[in-house]
Amino acid sequence: MYPLLKLIIAHLGPHKSFDSATLARRSELAKRCSDQVGMMKRDRHTMRKRNLAARSNDGDGNTTYTITAAAPKYDFLKNDTCILTPETSNGPYVYPPSQLLRQNMVENQVGVPLELDIGLIDVNTCEPLTNVLVDIWHCNATGSYSSFTGLDPNTDFGTLYHNLTNTYPNGTHGLGDLEWMHTDNATWLRGMWPTDKHGATSFQTIFPGFYVERAIHIHAQVHTNWSVLTNGTIAHGRTVSTGQIFIDEALEEEIMALEPYASHTQITRYTNVEDGIYSTESETGAMTILDTEPLDGVDYKNGVLGYITFGVDTTQIRDGSTVNANPSVV
Ligand SMILES: *[C@@H]1O[C@H](CO)[C@@H](O)[C@H](O)[C@H]1NC(C)=O
Ligand SMILES: *[C@@H]1O[C@H](CO)[C@@H](O)[C@H](O)[C@H]1NC(C)=O
Ligand SMILES: *[C@@H]1O[C@H](CO)[C@@H](O)[C@H](O)[C@H]1NC(C)=O
Ligand SMILES: *[C@@H]1O[C@H](CO)[C@@H](O)[C@H](O)[C@H]1NC(C)=O
Ligand SMILES: *[C@@H]1O[C@H](CO)[C@@H](O)[C@H](O)[C@H]1NC(C)=O
Ligand SMILES: *[C@@H]1O[C@H](CO)[C@@H](O)[C@H](O)[C@H]1NC(C)=O
Ligand SMILES: *[C@@H]1O[C@H](CO)[C@@H](O)[C@H](O)[C@H]1NC(C)=O
């Protein structure tokens, strides 16, 4: 990795950006709604089981799901929240013009199905956040992002940047807006959907692959005061907070052994602990790993169902925007 980018990642760490009071507050916030988060996730899990059961009994009688458990099994659900923060990186592949209002974001991409069940909670009131737009994007099974398909996922970002500009990114300022690096208008594996009256939403996608010097992750942002254009992209909408979803290493190993993931041999995948953003998020209490179960209740190879609850610190929002937003983009 280009050294300056490493430096910028380091600067996102607690010694520079966060004082101990902020860290203590984040850590407290991540835990304080644990009962409500636990209840919320269990409700979502129960509702989903009920929906799947209903689907299995519908019209043509055909279903890809078999309901095996009589009672909902939810001991795998954690109570913690992933606190979204203004500081967490958008990454260079944020591209609002290609984010479409839809729940199924697969298009033509091949991979293990992933259903994401996402809850939003206000960590000050412990109440669900309704009608907040959740914005999701991630790379495909071999590490490419739509709208940036011309950038090699196996070449580090500093080199890609240098190749295009003949300069290296100059500190955080030089990394302010990288939308100009997009190479196309493809929209796959990007989607947005609002939370319902329970503060929940969901997406159908595929399990992401990986690209150079990053662990497997999914980007998420939430927007308030949003509206959409006729072509389904967002017209305006303050970005309240940003986060990245990480996944359990053992599950990643299982999925990466399957095609088409297994063909991505040009680079070595970073595990979570090797990833700078993962470490930063862990240190700030912003981190939680996706809770998962097999979509069919049997085998992860047939699909993964993932649950996560994002916590938003609404006291950090003024006039629909985040206070002291520092959109870093590494
Ligand atoms: C998690 O939430 C459930 C449901 O409210 C509660 O019974 C349990 O004690 C919580 N666990 C922890 C560790 O907070
Ligand atoms: C339902 O399953 C039967 C038997 O496998 C198959 O013949 C039929 O085409 C299926 N119907 C639909 C709508 O998939
Ligand atoms: C949607 O419309 C906006 C505004 O005209 C444009 O900037 C954007 O590229 C369009 N996106 C798609 C996917 O058509
Ligand atoms: C991921 O996207 C890139 C760029 O469009 C494409 O070349 C590659 O085949 C895709 N990977 C898979 C597994 O389809
Ligand atoms: C550098 O950019 C050119 C096009 O400008 C492209 O053909 C080439 O693949 C790029 N090289 C790398 C390492 O990204
Ligand atoms: C994206 O779409 C817009 C509008 O259709 C077009 O003007 C632009 O050239 C496209 N950009 C790329 C990189 O294909
Ligand atoms: C919501 O968005 C509209 C349109 O951009 C703007 O006029 C209004 O001030 C915004 N309201 C808040 C609370 O941010």
The token pair at 205 is 């996608």
Closest ligand, as measured to the CA of 64: 2
Q: Which is the closest atom of ligand 1 to the Cα of 34? A: 14
pLDDT score of 214: 92
Does 185 sit in the ligand 6 pocket, CB within 6 Å?
yes
pLDDT score of 158: 84
pLDDT at 319 over 60: no
Does 78 sit in the ligand 1 pocket, CB within 6 Å?
no
pLDDT at 287 over 60: yes
pLDDT tens digits for range 38-47? 888 888 888 8
Domains of the chain: 3-56+70-312 (2.60.130.10)
Instruction: Return the beta strands (E) in the chain as ranges.
Output: 82-84, 113-122, 127-128, 133-137, 190-194, 200-206, 217-228, 234-246, 291-294, 304-312, 317-318, 321-322
Q: Which is the closest atom of ligand 4 to the Cα of 142? A: 11
Does 19 sit in the ligand 6 pocket, CB within 6 Å?
no
User: What does the mean pLDDT of the chain come to?
Assistant: 78
| Owner of token pair 């795998």 | 76
Inter-CA distances, 297 with 41, 203, 305, 308, Å? 17, 18, 9, 18
Average pLDDT over residues 140-158: 95
Average pLDDT over residues 186-207: 94
Does 323 sit in the ligand 1 pocket, CB within 6 Å?
no
